Every structure is written in structure tokens, then in C-alpha cells.
């Protein structure tokens, strides 16, 4: 299990994201720059114990209407080869020293553990407390056989698509939307899995909706 350290991080995660978010194609804000608050999230464990994995939810209140974003992040003790395009920034951790933060949709460790969560082989962990499962995060999978971790990640205005060699696609919803049937309702047409979670709205209410949806490969 990952250990949550009570220490300082400079710059803070929100400071890193404030600079990085406007560069993303799915960012909905204007030119003034985001004003971010933490709204939720969860963690996953790296079986090797080397990479920190966090699914962070932040809300930008700079515009006329707040926008809530899902930002999967990985934290590494050294740069990830070939992932310069996915670097969010570097920071100094009070216990672990220099850390490289990456957009997790482009990090194979996060992708593998997210797929393990969908398949029921991994368990979501609390964002702030060590060794505590996050019961608000649920995952389902109705497909057959193991999912391929060999994915091609592409960012667009709708989020991030992780496409497997056979065409099966896991789409990360970067702009989160509440959904009343996020848990009990049927999967969207063509979907074979999803991850659902909660976040806090600016007024303090709790919202729930899909973080990611897995769609079957198109039939030939």
C-alpha cells in the first residue's frame, strides 16, 4: 500500500495544474487562467511501490460557470523516458525529494492499474489516508478476458482516449458531469465497463458521475 506523507510539496499540485491546464485541448476556461480548488479524487497503488498514482478532481471557478476536471497524475522519482509531452511539472517533496509529475493517461503504470481497477483486480484507495479503501469509487466490467495495457493515448476536446490494438477504447472524462444514473443505470450503448466516483460542488453538495467509460471494439 502507498504511504501518504504529511509533508510539504513545492510548488503545490494546484499550482502546477494552474499553469498546465490551459494547455490541454479539453480545458474549458478562458484566457485569464484557472482558479482551482480541490474537489475530490482517489489513489491507486503501484504493485512495484515506485510510482505514485492519484486521480485528482479540481474545480475551476474563474469562469461564469464552474468547470470540474479529472486529472490523473503519476509521481516519479526520475523522468519517464519518452513522456516529455505528458510532463505536468516538477516539484520538491519534503520526504521523497524531487518528483516528476505526469499526466497519468500517458503513463503505462497508471493505465495498467486503472484497467486492473475496471477488471476488479485493484481497489481504489482514499486520497489522503494510507491503507484505506475509497468506497465511493466503483468499477464494473462486462467484457470477456483480460484487457490489453498496450494503449495509444490521444487527447482531444472531449477528454483522453486510450485505444487498445483491437479498437477497445477507454475514454477518460476530463470534464466531469453529474449523472443521476451513474451507478444503477445501464452502461451506455457499446460500453463494457466504467469507473464512477464522487466530487464536491462549489456549494458543498456531493455530485456523482462517470470518470471513465470502456467501449467495445467496433465490429468488423
DSSP 186: P
Rounded Cα distance, 145 and 135, in Å: 25
Number of domains in the chain: 1
3 is a domain residue: no
pLDDT for 1 equals 54
4 is a domain residue: no
pLDDT for 179 equals 85
Residue 85 three-state SS: helix
1 is a domain residue: no
2 is a domain residue: no
97 is a domain residue: yes
pLDDT for 93 equals 75
Beta bridge partners of 60: 36, 67
220 is a domain residue: no
Residue whose grid cell is 443505470 = 185
Rounded Cα distance, 67 and 182, in Å: 19
125 is a domain residue: yes
186 is a domain residue: yes
Query: Which pTM was predicted?
Result: 0.92
Measured in Å, how far apart are the chain's first and last C-alpha atoms? 42
Give the range of the structural domain holding residue 17, as residue numbers without chain letter: 9-215
Distance of CA 32 to CAs 16, 60, 62, Å? 16, 12, 8
Nearest to 149 by CA among 106, 199, 112: 112
pLDDT for 174 equals 97
Residue whose grid cell is 510539504 = 8
The tens-digit pLDDT sequence of the chain (220 residues) is 555 555 667 899 999 999 999 999 999 987 778 999 999 999 999 999 999 999 999 999 998 889 999 999 999 999 999 999 999 999 987 667 789 999 999 999 999 999 999 999 999 999 988 889 999 999 999 998 899 999 999 999 999 999 999 999 999 999 999 986 655 567 888 899 999 999 999 999 999 999 999 999 887 6
Amino acid at each position: 500500500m502507498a504511504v501518504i506523507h504529511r509533508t510539504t510539496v513545492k510548488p503545490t499540485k494546484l499550482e502546477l495544474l494552474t499553469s498546465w491546464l490551459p494547455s490541454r485541448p479539453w480545458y474549458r476556461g478562458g484566457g485569464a487562467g484557472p482558479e482551482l480548488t480541490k474537489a475530490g479524487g482517489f489513489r491507486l497503488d503501484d504493485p512495484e511501490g515506485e510510482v505514485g498514482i492519484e486521480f485528482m478532481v479540481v474545480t475551476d471557478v474563474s469562469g461564469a460557470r464552474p468547470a470540474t476536471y479529472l486529472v490523473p497524475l503519476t509521481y516519479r522519482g526520475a523522468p519517464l523516458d519518452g513522456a516529455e509531452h505528458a510532463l505536468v511539472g516538477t516539484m520538491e517533496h519534503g520526504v521523497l525529494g524531487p518528483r516528476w509529475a505526469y499526466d497519468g493517461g500517458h503513463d503505462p503504470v497508471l493505465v495498467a492499474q486503472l484497467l486492473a481497477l475496471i477488471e476488479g483486480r485493484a481497489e481504489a484507495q482514499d486520497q489522503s489516508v494510507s491503507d484505506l479503501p475509497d468506497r465511493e469509487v466503483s468499477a464494473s466490467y462486462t467484457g470477456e478476458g483480460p484487457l490489453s495495457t498496450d494503449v495509444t493515448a490521444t487527447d482531444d476536446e472531449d477528454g483522453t482516449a486510450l485505444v487498445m490494438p483491437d479498437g477497445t477504447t477507454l475514454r477518460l472524462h476530463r470534464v466531469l458531469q453529474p449523472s443521476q444514473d451513474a451507478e444503477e443505470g445501464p452502461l451506455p450503448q457499446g460500453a463494457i465497463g466504467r469507473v464512477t466516483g464522487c466530487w464536491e460542488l462549489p456549494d458543498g453538495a456531493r455530485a456523482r458521475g462517470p470518470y471513465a467509460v470502456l467501449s467495445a471494439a467496433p465490429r468488423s
